[in-house]
Chain A
Amino acid sequence: MSHWIKSEPLQDGGIRIRFSAEIALFWDWLREKHSASFSQQTCPDKVTISDPETAKWFEQMRKEAHAERALALRRMEAIPCGNRGAVELRLDEDSALVFLQCVNDIRLQSWHLLGCPDEPLELPQEQVNLWAYPEDRNAVLLVHELCGYIIEWITGALLGD
Chain B
Amino acid sequence: MIVWNDPVNLMSYVTLAFQKVFGWKREVAEKHMLEVHNNGRSIVARENREKAEHYVHQLQSWGLTTTMEPSD
- Show the binding face of A for B, using Cβ within 8 Å: 97, 100-101, 104-105, 107-108, 111, 116, 118, 148, 151-152, 155-156, 158-159
- Show the binding face of B for A, using Cβ within 8 Å: 7-10, 12-13, 15-16, 19-20, 26, 61-63
Chain A binding surface SS class: helix
Query: Which of A101, A116, A155 meets B10, CB within 8 Å?
Result: A155
Tell me the complex Cα distance, A18–B12, Å: 20
Tell me the complex Cα distance, A98–B5, Å: 23
Q: Which residues of A contact B8 (CB under 8 A)?
A: 107-108, 111, 116
Query: Which of A107, A148, A155 meets B15, CB within 8 Å?
Result: A155
**Sample (30) of A-B pairs whose CB atoms are under 8 Å apart:** A97-B20, A100-B13, A101-B61, A101-B62, A101-B63, A104-B9, A104-B13, A104-B62, A105-B63, A107-B8, A108-B8, A108-B63, A111-B8, A116-B8, A118-B7, A148-B10, A151-B10, A151-B13, A152-B10, A155-B10, A155-B12, A155-B13, A155-B15, A155-B16, A156-B12, A158-B16, A159-B12, A159-B15, A159-B19, A159-B26
